[in-house]
Structure 1
Amino acid sequence: MEKGLPAIPAKRYFTIGEVSDLCGVKPHVLRYWEQEFTQLRPMKRRGNRRYYQHHEVLMIRRIRDLLYDQGFTISGARNKLQEIVQVERDKRKAGEVMLDGVEVIEVDDSSFEDFEDSAPPDEQERVSQKLLLVRRELFEIRDLLSATH
C-alpha cells in the first residue's frame, strides 16, 4: 500500500490540491469519493473550499489502496472500509494493542528527565508538542498496518 506516495507532513489541514498530490488522486475524484464514502467529510470554509485533516488523508490513501491496488468496486470498498472501521473500534473498546509482531524497545527514561530539568520551559513545551504529534502519527500508522492484515 502507498507505493511511491510522499510522506504526509505534520500539518493540521490540507487543501484538496495538497491531498491530491499526497494521495495520487485527482481533485475531482476526491470530490466524488466524498459522495460515496460517508466517513470522508472534509471541513468546508469560504467559497466551499475543502480542508482535509490528517486522518482523512490516511483514509483517502486506504480508499485508494482498496480501489486501485486491491481491485474493489466502490460498493465493495465502502463495505470493506466500514468493516475495517468497526474492527478498529472493537479493538479499541476491548483495549487490545494492535502491534502484533512488533518488537518492543525499552527506553531509559532518565535521559528524558535530565532534558526536562535542564531545558527552558518554552523548549520543553515545543518538544512535548512534537512528541504528541509523533505519538498520534504512530498510532495512525499502527491502525493502517493493522487494517491491511
Structure 2
Amino acid sequence: MILRGIASVSEELDLQQYVLRYWETQFSHLRPIRRGRTRYYRQDDVELVAGIRHMLHRQGFTIAGVKQVFKNKGPAFVRSIGRSEAAGDAYLDTCIGGIEEAELSPEQRSALAAALSDPAMCRALAEVAVAQVAHRGDP
C-alpha cells in the first residue's frame, strides 16, 4: 500500500492543504491515516478527494449536495467519479435525484435535465427549485 502526504495530494489535485483538512471535517468517508500530526492518504482516499473536488469545482455541487451523493450513492460512486469512471448518465441521475423534492413542473424538470451540461443555466434553474422549497413553509 502506497501512502502519500498531504502536500503531494494537494499538489496533484491542485487544492490547498487547508481545503483537504476542511473536507475531512465535512465528509466522514474521508479519513486518511494519521500518525501523530501527519496525514497519509491511501489511493482510495486520493480517488475520494478527486471525486469530491470534481463534484464541487466542476459540476457545481454544494457541500450539502455532495453529502447527499454520499448518502444516496455511497463512497464507491464518489471514488468512481474521482477515477473518471462515472458516466454522464450517472451524473444526470444524481442531479435529478437531488432535486426531486422541489415542486417543479414537467417543463421545468425537462429544462433542468437539458441544462445540466450548462453550469450557468443549471445553477439558475436550481436556484428556482431551492427557492420553491424554501418558501413551502411560508404562509
Match of 1:146 among 62, 66, 86: 86
Deviation at 1:142, TM superposition (A): 10
Give 2:46's aligned residue: 57
Secondary structure at the counterpart of residue 76 of structure 1: helix
What is aligned with 1:33? 23
1:78-120 Cα offsets, whole Å, 9 max, x none, are 11133232785xxxxxxxxxxxxxxxxxxxxxxxxxxxxxxxx
For the pair shown, which has the larger CA radius of gyration, 1 or 2?
A: 1
Distance 1:34 1:141, change over 3 A: closer
Match of 1:23 in 2: 13
1:71 pairs with one of 41, 60, 80 = 60
**So what's the TM-score if we normalise by structure 2?**
0.55
Identity of counterpart residues, as a percentage? Answer: 33
Name the CA shift for 1:24/1:86 in 2 (closer, same or farther; >3 Å): closer
Q: CA shift at 1:146, angstroms?
A: 3.4
**1:60-80, Cα deviation, whole Å (9 max, x unpaired):** 000001100010111111111
1:1-149 alignment runs, 5 A limit: 12-46=2-36, 48-85=37-74, 144-146=84-86, 149=90
Cross-structure match for 1:123 = none
Amino acid at match of 1:38: S
Which structure carries more relative contact order (alpha carbon 8 Å, separation 6+)? 1
Instruction: Tell me, yes or no, if the aligned pair for 1:84 and 1:147 is still in contact at 8 Å.
Output: no
Q: Amino acid of the residue matched to residue 14 of structure 2?
A: G
Runs of 4+ in 1 over 6 A off after TM superposition: 140-143
Taking structure 1 as the reference length, the TM-score comes to: 0.51
Q: 1:143 to 1:31 in 2, by over 3 A?
A: closer
Unmatched runs of 5 consecutive residues or more in structure 1: 1-10, 89-139
SS of the residue 2:4 aligns to: strand
Q: Give the Å deviation of 1:24.
A: 1.3
- 2:133 — aligned with what? none
**Structure 2 spans left out of the alignment, 5+ residues:** 91-139
Seen in structure 2, the aligned counterparts of structure 1 residues 28 and 145 have a Cα distance that, compared at 3 Å, is same
